Amino acid sequence: MHLLVFGKSGQVARALAAAVGGRHSVALAGRPQYDITDFQVVKAAVAAEAPAVIVNAAAHTAVDRAETAPETARAVNHAGAANVARAAAEAGLPLLQVSTDYVFDGAARTPYAEDAGTGPLNVYGASKLDGERAVAAATPKHLIVRTSWVFDAGGGNFVDTMLGLAATRDRLNVVDDQRAAPTAAAAVARALLRMAETAVGDGFAEWGVYHFQARPVVSWCGFARAIFAAWAELTGAPVPEVTAIPTRDYPTPARRPLYGVLATDRIDRVFGIKPPDWRQDLRQVLTARAVAAGA
C-alpha cells in the first residue's frame, strides 16, 4: 500500500513515515512544494504519487496564534482540508483526515461519542470542525480521526515545553482543571495505518468519524508531573516542583475545553484498535530524548 501524507514535517506525518516500516511505502508532501491551500498543487501530488490512500495530517495547530490570525487557520484547516478531500474524491481514493477534541466545548462530564454535539470554543477548533464538514461533504470515503494532546520526541509539543522549563525553573504552575489524554504521535500513526489497511480492502463501508485517544485521562498538571517523574528517573536531573492551578489563573488568547475525553468504542469495534497507555509512549519518547541529549 502506498500512502500520500500531507503535513510532511509535522509530528503525525513523521510518525507515520516511521511506522510504515517495510510493509508499505509513504510519500510525505509538505510546504513549500505542496501547500494544501492550493488545490492544483494537491491534485498534482495525488497524480504524481498515485497512492492507495491519502492522509491529511497538515494543519495550522498553533491554537493561540489562530485567535489573532484566524484567516490562516481557516485557510489550512478548512479550505486546505476541503482541497485534499476534493482531490481524493476526484481520484476515487479513501481519505484519512486527522482532527481534534477541540471541536467540543468541554461541558460534558462523560466521554464524547463521535455523534455528540460539537461547539468549538476557539478559532482552531472551529476551523478544524469546518474542515471535518468539508471532508464529509466532498467524499463519502472518509475517515475523520479525532485525537488530543499529541506529543512526540520533538516538535514544539507540551513535553518539549516542560523539559525546556525544567532546565531553568525549580517551580511551575500548571493547569489542573483541563482533562483529556496525551496521545503519542506514534500511537496515532499506528492507528491510522491500521485504519488505512482496512479501508483500502474491498467492501469496506464503515466510513465516518472515529475517536482515538490514549488512557488514562489526566490533566495538564498530572501530565507535567508524569513527565518530570519519568525524566528524573531516566536522567537523574533535577526537575521542577509542580503546583496545580485553575485555568482562570492561566489566561490564554484561546479558550480551551475543560473536558476533552473521547469515547473510543467505535474504533475498537470496527478496527480492533484499543486506547494505548500514554505512560508507556511517554517513557519511549523521554528515553529517546535522554539518549539524544547524552543524559
Ligand X SMILES: NC(=O)c1ccc[n+]([C@@H]2O[C@H](COP(=O)([O-])OP(=O)(O)OC[C@H]3O[C@@H](n4cnc5c(N)ncnc54)[C@H](OP(=O)(O)O)[C@@H]3O)[C@@H](O)[C@H]2O)c1
What is the contact surface with ligand X in residues (CB under 6 A)? Answer: 6-12, 30-31, 35-37, 57-61, 76, 80, 98, 100, 128, 147-150, 155
Q: 102, 112, 124, 259: which is the annotated catalytic residue?
A: 124
Q: For residues 20 and 237, which CB has a smaller minimum distance to ligand X in the complex?
A: 20
227, 281 contact by CB (below 8 A)? no
151: nearest Cα among 130, 119, 181, 117? 181
Which residue number places its CB atom closest to ligand X? 10
Q: Is 112 a catalytic residue?
A: no
CA angle 123, 78, 17 (to 5 degrees): 105
Q: For residues 11 and 122, which CB has a smaller minimum distance to ligand X in the complex?
A: 11
Least distance in angstroms from the C-beta of 188 to ligand X: 7
Least distance in angstroms from the C-beta of 221 to ligand X: 17
144, 81 contact by CB (below 8 A)? no
Least distance in angstroms from the C-beta of 24 to ligand X: 19
**Identity at 193, one-letter amino acid code:** L
Least distance in angstroms from the C-beta of 97 to ligand X: 7
Cα 11 to Cα 107, 156, 232, distances in angstroms: 28, 9, 25
Cα 20 to Cα 16, 33, 263, 290, distances in angstroms: 6, 23, 27, 25
Least distance in angstroms from the C-beta of 7 to ligand X: 4
Q: For residues 84 and 235, which CB has a smaller minimum distance to ligand X in the complex?
A: 84
Q: For residues 56 and 235, which CB has a smaller minimum distance to ligand X in the complex?
A: 56
Least distance in angstroms from the C-beta of 120 to ligand X: 12
Q: What is the chain's Cα-based Rg?
A: 19
Please state, in angstroms and rounded to a whole number, the distance separating the CA atoms of residues 167 and 72: 33
189, 16 contact by CB (below 8 A)? yes
Q: For residues 288 and 295, which CB has a smaller minimum distance to ligand X in the complex?
A: 288
Q: For residues 18 and 295, which CB has a smaller minimum distance to ligand X in the complex?
A: 18
147: nearest Cα among 7, 15, 285, 275? 275
User: What residues are labeled active site?
Assistant: 124
